[in-house]
Structure 1
Amino acid sequence: MNRRDFIKRSIAAALGGASLYSAFGSLSAIAAAATQKRYAFGDYKALVCIFLYGGNDSFNTIVPYDTTNYARYRQSRNGLVSAGGLALEQAAIQAQSLNPLAASGGLPGGLPGDGSTYGLHPSLAPLRGLFNGEKMAVVANVGTLLHPITQSQYQNGTVPTPPQLFSHDDQTTYWQTSRPDDPNANGWGGRIADLLYGANTGLMPMSISLSGENRFQRGAVINQYSMSPGGVDKMSYLGDGSESWIQGDNPSGKTAYEALIAHGTQTHVLERAFANAAGSAIDNYEILSAALDGSPPLATAFPDTDLGNQLKMVARLIKIRAALGMSRQVFFVSAGAYDTHGSQIADHAYNLTEFANATKAFYDATVELGLANNVTAFTSSDFGRSLAVNGDGTDHGWGGHHFVVGGAVRGRRFYGTMPSLAQNTNANPHANPDDTGYGQIIPTTAVDQYAATLASWFGVDAGGIADILPNLGRFAAPNLRFLG
């Protein structure tokens, strides 16, 4: 039995357990992945999740500059920076203006529904050309939801909300799993991989993380393969010539380890599982190292930043897709320090500069590879931040705006509903109908809808999407149509 068969049969044998349903979602999705090759593709596609840990401040990322809406934004953001507030200058936003197309062809997406004109944070200047060139779209006010919910329903507690709202750990989990009803659920990227992995002919895992372990890629059948932006990390037992206990003083250590993981020699199921995992890691190292070493470097220049190096390695891995036998891949990269409770003006500018330069370089690399239409990158984050400010920072929020980038994107459009930026006051506590009452903006687009749109483009059929996202039917638009 090869390793893949071992995993499939182990999962299939456990399908009767009720706890498995709780942990992994729909049993039919797991059964399909465990027992058959349901999907086959004649093309290549990749999804690239760019997770902004800490909660990106969407309301200083995409900002209105028309007179009426800028005045509301500025009032909520407490005036000039020199006065201690967070409002960006109107002229600086207008210089990065977005020029969206009107809705057409009976498809969703077009001008912002609030009638405002928007621009990007000045640090996002490299992305303005992608949006105006129809290679990037804005998906408005996305967040974790159990059901659609209004301000009145939230304040009166008549519609359930995700547990532990405004908590980093909990909301990161729910964003990455799209299952606020199940804290043990696998990630929606992992559930996609569970369905589609059989379409790949190679033995490498379909999901690769350049930023360590994450919930987004955790699956029941296929789990993430984590590697460093600099290349594949060798298991220490293999040695690099410096470990004397392996190469010199104790060569028997290497022999003993190889005997420990030798195929078919273990008697206990946990020993076999360990040997299988260790053997797979060694095989993956050898396959990836050989393919990367044999591939010429990319011509596209990437910024030498943490996110830039992660996305550069993703581009290199996409380049060697044929050698790895891949027709579908899911990647995860991330950047941190978005929890801007203080010093937000400087810190947010720095973070967005890193994000914009790395994302633009990555898109350029997909053009170089002739795969711009086959690769879609998208942002995620713990949550948006509060519209209200706390001096020189913002607090944990709920809904937030996100970017989708790639040649297949129906770009130069806004999707979803842009929220009000009006400030609630003691005199008018309901001035903003989208505010919880404490400065957080209530989402109007669910993570489920965002995920379903990406999964559909990726090749998951309607039945598979229903398995992956069992709560999707609660929302009016199961596909936001931001991908063609």
Structure 2
Amino acid sequence: MSHAHLNRRQFLHRSSLIAMAPTVPAFLGRTVRATEPNNDGRILVVIQLSGGNDGINTVVPFADEGYAKHRDKLRLSTDRLIKVNDQVGLHPALRPAAKLLENGQLAIVQGVGYPNPNRSHGVSMAIWQTARLDPAEHKTFGWIGRAMDRHSALADGSAHSILLGDEDPPIALRGRRSTSVSLAHLEELKLKASTGLFRASVDDSSDDLLVFARRASLDARSTAALIDEVTKNSASDTSLYPKTELAGRLKSIAQLIKADFSTPVYYAIQSGYDTHAAQLPTHARLLRELAGAMKAFLDDLQAAGLSKRVLTLCFSEFGRRVKENASLGTDHGTAAPVLIAGSSVNSGPLGQPPSMTDLANGDLKMQTDFRQVYATILQDWLGVDSASALGGSFDRLRLIAST
């Protein structure tokens, strides 16, 4: 018998812990009681880049004459860039991500945005998280939550999505029936149940979740022990991961995936991208942390033989203005690249980089609607109908490689 990780069948024979911890919510209990892991189940990992990432200095359009014209102080020299093709290059801090590109594991969707862009952090993030342009729909349900509502009939009772981090759960995960869990750390399970935020799945009563939420502090030890029992033999090689917050979160996600949790969606947040001043050092640090964490995560999954099951999506609520400001930073803009990593992507840039001379009120023009990215992931990766989740049908992209 392989000891690479403790699967659910093995755990069933060691499950006295369940009996000792009756206050663990039903959705988690069913996860570890299931008789067979769903090894064919595909998984989506979302990394939210909060603040508005400067896509122009992430995937750099060095061949566009507008880059030198509008980025006098913030321009990255061409000889430092990691060339992707004869038009664009990656920021030098993204060298680990360039390795993914070399390995055929990174797709770059260029110029992603939405019609009539909004430069408010809150409004634009709500648009991305709900896949709805109408502000009246920004406090209801999110695109992932809606999709997981459709996924409920296929779920085995596991939480449909897990946020790794201590941030407030994003509206993207909120569904009518699907369940979502927040984990600050693997040692501390925290179910954040507020009115209408996390609804029980068909097999759970809301009382079960609310009782657990009220008693979480009392049951933290037994719950942490349960998760520890399931994940301790699926521990990730810590030497793979940089010692950053994002890397730690992705390492925890990798442990849960390797422990055969059947949760289809995981979510992590990296903050700090609102670079109005002194952008160069801050942006370089953030991109270095992002690329290092992503590379370690994919290497970890590759070593476990799971890389073909996992797709990672990186997005930000908007890009930055084309022209730098007087504080050596950039202000809120519009379109920006979206990064999608995994062993099942069609690697390389998708679409043309937005022009830096043909602008819309000083901003980049959108090339791809973000809902096309979502539709592709939902239908071609997770196998979920996208129309109800996104409020309409959108043309899909050639993101997922044929198998």
TM-score range, shorter chain: 0.7 to 0.9
Aligned to 2:373: 450
* SS of residue matched to 1:205: coil
Q: Does 1:210 align with 2:164?
A: yes
Q: Does 1:407 align with 2:343?
A: yes
Q: Does 1:378 align with 2:313?
A: yes
- Normalising by the residue count of structure 1, what TM-score does the alignment of the two structures yield? 0.67
What amino acid maps onto 2:114 in structure 1?
T
Q: What is the alpha-carbon distance in structure 2 between the residues aligned to residue 273 and residue 43 of structure 1?
A: 28
Aligned to 1:303: 242
Aligned to 1:389: 324
Q: Quote the offset at 1:42 in angstroms.
A: 6.8
Q: What is the alpha-carbon distance in structure 1 between the residues aligned to residue 223 and residue 365 of structure 2?
A: 43
8 Å contact 1:179–1:185 — kept in the other structure?
Answer: no
* SS of residue matched to 1:443: coil
Q: Quote the offset at 1:443 in angstroms.
A: 1.6
Q: Quote the offset at 1:178 in angstroms.
A: 0.9
Q: Quote the offset at 1:404 in angstroms.
A: 0.6
Aligned to 1:192: 147
Give the number of equivalent residue pairs: 348
What amino acid maps onto 2:105 in structure 1?
K
Distance change in 2, residues 1:273/1:302 (3 Å): closer
Q: Quote the offset at 1:454 in angstroms.
A: 0.8
Aligned match for 2:50, one of 37, 49, 53: 53
Q: Does 1:62 align with 2:15?
A: no
What amino acid maps onto 1:482 in structure 2?
L
Distance change in 2, residues 1:277/1:91 (3 Å): same
Q: Deviations over 1:120-171 (max 9, x none)?
A: 10100111121132110110111133xxxxxxxxxxxxxxx36xx1000111
RMSD between superposed Cα atoms in Å? 2.7
Aligned match for 2:102, one of 132, 142, 155: 132
1:343-354 equivalences under 5 Å are 343-354=278-289
Q: What is the alpha-carbon distance in structure 1 between the residues aligned to residue 39 and residue 80 of structure 2?
A: 46
* SS of residue matched to 2:331: strand
Aligned match for 1:220, one of 176, 194, 203: 176
Aligned to 2:197: none
Aligned to 1:313: 252
Identity of aligned residues (%): 30
Q: What is the alpha-carbon distance in structure 1 between the residues aligned to residue 276 and residue 190 of structure 2?
A: 39
- Normalising by the residue count of structure 2, what TM-score does the alignment of the two structures yield? 0.79
What amino acid maps onto 1:364 in structure 2?
D
* SS of residue matched to 2:321: strand
What amino acid maps onto 1:86 in structure 2?
L
Q: What is the alpha-carbon distance in structure 2 between the residues aligned to residue 472 and residue 284 of structure 1?
A: 41
Aligned match for 1:98, one of 73, 79, 84: 84
Please identify the structure whose Cα radius of gyration is greater.
Answer: 1
Distance change in 2, residues 1:315/1:272 (3 Å): closer
Q: Does 1:482 align with 2:403?
A: no
Unaligned runs of at least 5 residues, structure 2: 1-24, 28-37, 192-204
Q: Quote the offset at 1:467 in angstroms.
A: 1.3
8 Å contact 1:305–1:354 — kept in the other structure?
Answer: yes
Q: Deviations over 1:223-265 (max 9, x none)?
A: 3210124532479xxxxxxxxxxxxxxxxxxxxxxxxxxxxxx
Q: What is the alpha-carbon distance in structure 1 between the residues aligned to residue 154 and residue 337 of structure 2?
A: 33
Q: Deviations over 1:423-471 (max 9, x none)?
A: xxxxxxxxx1xx221x22232211210101111133334xx21111123
1:280-295 equivalences under 5 Å are 285=224, 287-295=226-234
What amino acid maps onto 1:120 in structure 2?
L
Unaligned runs of at least 5 residues, structure 1: 6-40, 79-84, 100-115, 146-160, 236-268, 423-431
8 Å contact 1:379–1:404 — kept in the other structure?
Answer: yes
Q: What is the alpha-carbon distance in structure 2 between the residues aligned to residue 197 and residue 144 of structure 1?
A: 29
What amino acid maps onto 1:371 in structure 2?
L
Aligned to 2:69: 75
8 Å contact 2:43–2:382 — kept in the other structure?
Answer: no
Q: What is the alpha-carbon distance in structure 2 between the residues aligned to residue 348 and residue 299 of structure 1?
A: 25
Aligned match for 2:389, one of 436, 455, 468: 468
Distance change in 2, residues 1:287/1:457 (3 Å): farther
Q: Quote the offset at 1:303 in angstroms.
A: 0.6
Aligned to 2:303: 368
